[in-house]
Amino acid sequence: MAGDDLRAITEVDRVIHEPARLLIVALLSEVRSADFLFLQSETRLTKGNLSSHLSRLEQAGYLQIDKGFRGKVPQTVCSLTSEGRAAFRLYRAQMRRAVGRSAR
């Protein structure tokens, strides 16, 4: 049983498991949306790096990206899809179980 819980860590969602993407998803999990500038200032990633991680999440169907304008300034707003939120919930549950087991 303990082995099953620990083995479950190998089945975690690799799209979310990557540290930069995990941080992005965690930041977006409790808000409706946030823009590129907020995500960049929180993650400290370069523009190109952040863009590629956002694209990867979008391809997985976890993220919706809307490009528009705020006044006259271009703005990229990101929000988690319902699939993204569900995937993050599952990931957290799997990690809690695995970390809980290994701590005992």
- Minimal CA–CA distance to 28: which of 84, 90, 95, 91? 84
Least distance in angstroms from the C-beta of 58 to other proteins: 18
For the record, the structure tokens of 95 come out as 């990690």
90 interacts with other proteins by CB under 8 A: no
Least distance in angstroms from the C-beta of 39 to other proteins: 7
Least distance in angstroms from the C-beta of 3 to other proteins: 20
What Cα–Cα distance (Å) separates residue 90 from each residue in 19, 22, 28, 34, 83?
16, 13, 15, 22, 11
Footprint of other proteins on residues 17-46 (CB under 8 A)?
22-23, 26-27, 29-42
104 interacts with other proteins by CB under 8 A: no
